[in-house]
Amino acid sequence: MRTFFKYQATVVLSALSLFMPFLPAKALVVQPAIQDVQVDPGKGETKFIRATNDDITTQTYFVTIQKFVPKGDSGQQDFLPASDTTGLPEWTYVDQPEITLKPGESANLQVSFRVPPSAPPGGYYEALFLSKRQTATEPLAMLPRLGVLFFVRVNGQAEERLAVTQFSVDANSYWSLPVGFRTTVANEGMIHEQPEGMVTVRNFFGATVAKFPANPDGNRILPQSSHILLSAWSKGAVFPVTGYWSGLKQELNNFAIGPYVAFVTFNGPGFSGDVVKEVRFAVWPWRTMTAVGVLIIALVVLFFLLKKLIIKRATASPKT
């Protein structure tokens, strides 16, 4: 029989990444890092978490839960006090209050959500943490814990409204690719969204030279918050520039030249039709242009020297 816990958290975690495939901390691995849940009011849904002990000793981990809200515009989370168990924590049931794992052993935790019929439609968010038991010699702040983020959607008439508030580049002019793009999307609705958009780059002649996702990491945006989505245009490998020749290699690997215009286009849930923003920038690969200029000058000088030599030979008086 499943047990419902009034969760008491003992460690404050400042931030938890939304987009890592797993979250390692010392010898514990928890997968997946993110769980998406959709459930109707009055219904239930069950998910599973897999925990693996990579330590050389047997370890015991206990379960805690905290709600979270967005913090900043880069996908961080602000975890609410563990004493706030209203809403989603009250609907969450875990089949084990703690788990003991031998070295190399894995186990599944069953997490069930039972949503009351009166639950308002919209998004609800919490993190389930696995933490080690504190010993007499361990400082509380040093205890590691890993978490799984739950994005729960209670189905129904929940307002979905997204707006693209900014589309920009890191600079107006570049020596070479990559060019970094920043797209700020505001979620003014009641449910988290995972917007899908495309960035299209066109050259001076209007030809499309690149097309790539505007949200390559699949970032989720919580209600009543904004998120800066990062994307980039590049053609080849990017490496640190340590001098002229490495810079020239970088420019040739990621060659682009002249003025460009980029468009970002979003549509789908949350958007009222197609949303398009544009930004202009230029790429001037000075090392490549310098090398080409030097080569052209050298060829011109060589041409005139050869021409002068040919004329001199042609007009030279024959020996008698």
Per-residue pLDDT of the chain (320 residues; tens, 9 = 90+): 333 333 323 222 333 333 333 344 457 899 999 999 999 999 999 999 999 998 888 888 999 999 999 998 988 889 998 889 999 999 999 999 999 999 999 999 999 999 999 999 999 999 999 988 666 565 544 456 788 999 999 999 999 999 999 999 988 888 889 999 999 999 999 999 999 999 999 999 999 999 999 999 999 999 999 999 999 999 877 777 788 887 788 878 888 999 999 999 999 999 988 999 999 999 998 888 787 888 888 888 888 888 888 888 878 766 55
| CATH T-level assignment (fold) for domain 23-154 | Immunoglobulin-like (2.60.40)
pLDDT of residue 290: 82
List the structure tokens of 160. Answer: 């979905």
Interatomic CA distance for residues 302 and 320, integer angstroms: 32
Interatomic CA distance for residues 272 and 179, integer angstroms: 29
* SS3 state of residue 275: strand
Interatomic CA distance for residues 151 and 123, integer angstroms: 7
pLDDT of residue 28: 86
Within its chain, how far is the Cα of 181 from the centroid? 13
Per the CB < 8 A criterion, the answer to whether 140 and 10 are in contact is yes
Per the CB < 8 A criterion, the answer to whether 23 and 30 are in contact is yes
* SS3 state of residue 98: strand
Interhelix angle 286-315/244-253, rounded to 10 degrees, is 100
Q: Where are the beta strands (DSSP E) in 11-95?
A: 23-25, 28-31, 34-39, 44-53, 59-71, 76-79, 92-94
pLDDT of residue 167: 97
Interatomic CA distance for residues 25 and 27, integer angstroms: 6
Within its chain, how far is the Cα of 131 from the centroid? 26
What's the first-to-final CA gap in the chain, in angstroms?
120
Residue with tokens 């003992």: 10
| Number of alpha carbons in the 13 Å side-chain half-sphere of residue 286 | 4
User: Residue 276 burial (CB < 10 Å; 0-12/13-18/19+)?
Assistant: middle
* SS3 state of residue 53: strand
Cis preceding-peptide flag for 285 (omega within 30 of 0): no
Least Cα distance to 177 among 209, 130, 142 occurs for 209
DSSP label at 26? T
pLDDT of residue 17: 37
List the structure tokens of 211. Answer: 């097309």
Residue with tokens 């923003």: 277
CATH number of 162-284: 2.60.40.10
Distances (CA, A) of 134 to 35, 58, 145: 28, 15, 11
